[in-house]
Structure 1
Amino acid sequence: MAIDDAAYLGDNVILVCRDASCTVFKLQDRTGEGMMTAYEVFPGVSLLYHDFHIDCCMSYFRPEVNMFCIDHCREGRLEWELDEGSCLYMEAGDLQMNARDHHSRMFHFPLRHYHGITVSFCLEEAAQALKGILEGFEVDLHDLSEKFCSGKRPYIMRAGASIEHIFSELYFVPETVRTVFFRIKILELLLFLSTLDVPPDCGERPYFYKTQVEKVKAIMAFITASPHRHYTLEEISEQFRFPVTSMKKCFKGVYGTSIYAYMKAYRMNVAAVQLRRSEDSITSIALQMGYDNASKFSAAFKSIIGMSPGEYRRSSG
């Protein structure tokens, strides 16, 4: 059974195209879509590129063979809902390893986008294919799987310089050397993981109960519905009956930033749309975003967008 079989991936995934080098799939959901491009690097070893612009999607992935999968997040965030009603988050730079035993579930993307790579191993087939492939190279895939996937939760760690080097180069591969390059990088990755010491608590990441996550998402919907309103943390805390300290921690866990930073970026992106699509004055747009001082608005806009409102409007004209 191939990892790039659409039926294997679920009813919400369709085959877009396939040629000798790769297979492209599209995941369609009412909240958006995602593209997956799969390359078979060795028998039983696949490399998948993910480009998702979606709020959430159901995964129907149920492997019928023993697997070991390595995920790298380049951009965005992934919410992983666990069986006991708690949620883990994978953020930019994180590395995740699991056996895909509990992959058939709902996944959420709090920032509405996710870009990353998955290296998947069908253990028996891949172990046979990699056996003796390089003189002096011996990595036991079953041992690696046991090392990182023995717990009930996915093993998530912040990538260091070595692992970041491996994955960063995989995002920019010249087509002429793609096949050979993929093979070298996967062998390099396996070698790195085989030498990595795993402290008992290294894979632990902060997690939040589903009830907390639902409150935080309701808070996000509430504050973004009125970008001109500048709520205090105390006002939000009282409105949602959520203690300030816990609310701040959970919001950052879900969205990767503080409530204030999230709203500042949200307002400035809404303002950027207004600057492109309307003829409203900069002062008027500043007021719509809750700023009664145009210079403060301009400073905030530049800190997020990288140029002043006037420069942005002229560049978009």
Structure 2
Amino acid sequence: MTINNSSQDKYAFYGKNIKSFQKDENCMVFIMKDATGKGIMTSYDVFPGIKLMYNDFHMQGCFSEFRLNVQMLAIDHCREGRIEFLNGSYMYLNEGDLQISTKSNHVHAFGFPLHYYQGITIGIHLDEAIEALASTFEEFSIDLQALREKFNYDNHSFMIRTTESIQHIFSELYSVPEKIRIHYYRIKILELLLFLSAVDVSKNRESRPYFPKKQVDAVKKIMDYIRGHMDQHITLIELSNRFDIPLTAMKNCFKAIYGQSIYAYLRTYRIEKAAYLLRKTDDTITTIAGRVGYSNPSKFAAAFKEIKGMPPTKYQKNFV
């Protein structure tokens, strides 16, 4: 196995910050590392000019140096986590979202607010893919150039929540037996392209909110603050005043970045911290409840059971 320090193929330059190796005849693996973690992208050649890539990132963010040598249509599906895009202001790709873009301007920073992201990218390099599909499926017509223009008519990416039909296509791509892998990918990609060719862009395009950097920075400081003061009862008004951000903007921005309301996130974080303390310390349940902001042990026990599926007493016994 040879690991390359720079990743380049005939379609694109992936970046000096990425290493790659050939796993087998149809599979290339790209690895990105920094001080915050690692990202692995496992790419399969499905048709000439069409690749399917599994993305698995466990890091705070990364800088993309990806530059294309050809015209491309890219389809991204977010399975878990979320991606933060910065282009003057911030926008988010959330769990269950589908994004269609040309990746023509892909040299910039990405954030992973939850410190993880998993999903699939289907990369279609148009000239080669058009020729390959035309020669392989003479009576099966998918106009890839028209798809590219349809979903990027204003040079902006197209983003929607996945419908039941699209979710069905992608859910099956996450568990494919190796024996039938490439043939199965071909069927599912053709199914997806056919489905997208029938999508009415005017009815399905979502207008996603963009958030100014000042708001995002304030909300990230709020996140750090509530994590460091989870033993205290903090109101939203207090947070709004302390960090000089309007209440509504704070709530909307927090949910966009982290996928939950402030109270829902804090509740889950408190219980996960309590679970860690139950596993790793000999403190009493009452003491741990107080450390994570619950003065009433009964309310703590009820919240713990709702999130972890069992009362804290049983959970603690499992790790004695």
TM-score bracket relative to the smaller structure: over 0.9
Correspondent of 1:11 among 12, 16, 21: 16
- Residues 155-166 of structure 1 correspond to what in structure 2 (within 5 A)? 155-166=158-169
Q: Is the 8 A contact 2:63 2:107 kept in 1?
A: yes
What is the alpha-carbon distance in structure 2 between the residues aligned to residue 224 and residue 185 of structure 1?
Answer: 42
1:97/1:7 Cα in 2 relative to 1: closer, same or farther (>3 Å)?
Answer: closer
- Residues 1-317 of structure 1 correspond to what in structure 2 (within 5 A)? 8-82=13-87, 85-199=88-202, 202-317=205-320
Q: Secondary structure at the match of 1:97?
A: strand
Q: Is the 8 A contact 2:57 2:117 kept in 1?
A: yes
Aligned letter for 2:304? F
Q: Secondary structure at the match of 1:223?
A: helix
Root-mean-square deviation (CA, aligned residues, Å) is: 1.8
Per-residue CA deviations over 1:58-99 (Å, capped at 9, x if unaligned) read 0110111111000000111111112xx111111111000100
Q: Is the 8 A contact 1:27 1:35 kept in 2?
A: yes
Per-residue CA deviations over 1:178-219 (Å, capped at 9, x if unaligned) read 111000001101100111111077242122112211111111
1:63/1:115 Cα in 2 relative to 1: closer, same or farther (>3 Å)?
Answer: same
What is the alpha-carbon distance in structure 2 between the residues aligned to residue 273 and residue 247 of structure 1?
Answer: 29
Aligned letter for 1:280? D
Q: Is the 8 A contact 1:6 1:25 kept in 2?
A: no
Q: Which deviates further from its counterpart, 193-202 or 183-192?
A: 193-202
With the length of structure 2 as denominator, give the TM-score of the two structures. Answer: 0.94
Shift of 1:109: 0.8
Q: Which deviates further from its counterpart, 33-42 or 223-232?
A: 223-232
With the length of structure 1 as denominator, give the TM-score of the two structures. Answer: 0.94
Q: Is the 8 A contact 1:4 1:23 kept in 2?
A: no
Q: Is the 8 A contact 1:73 1:116 kept in 2?
A: yes
Aligned letter for 1:100? K
Shift of 1:132: 4.0
Shift of 1:229: 1.7
Aligned letter for 2:31? K
Give the number of equivalent residue pairs: 314
Q: Is the 8 A contact 2:52 2:123 kept in 1?
A: yes
What is the alpha-carbon distance in structure 2 between the residues aligned to residue 195 and residue 142 of structure 1?
Answer: 15
Q: Is the 8 A contact 2:113 2:258 kept in 1?
A: yes
Structure 2: gaps spanning 5 or more residues: 1-6
Shift of 1:16: 4.6
Q: Percent identity?
A: 49
Structure 1: gaps spanning 5 or more residues: none
Q: Secondary structure at the match of 2:68?
A: coil
Runs of 4+, deviation exceeding 6 Å: 2-7
Q: Which deviates further from its counterpart, 21-30 or 284-293?
A: 21-30
Aligned letter for 1:216? V
1:184/1:7 Cα in 2 relative to 1: closer, same or farther (>3 Å)?
Answer: closer
Shift of 1:135: 4.8
Q: Which deviates further from its counterpart, 185-194 or 206-215?
A: 206-215
What is the alpha-carbon distance in structure 1 between the residues aligned to residue 290 and residue 22 of structure 2?
Answer: 49
Q: Is the 8 A contact 2:12 2:68 kept in 1?
A: no
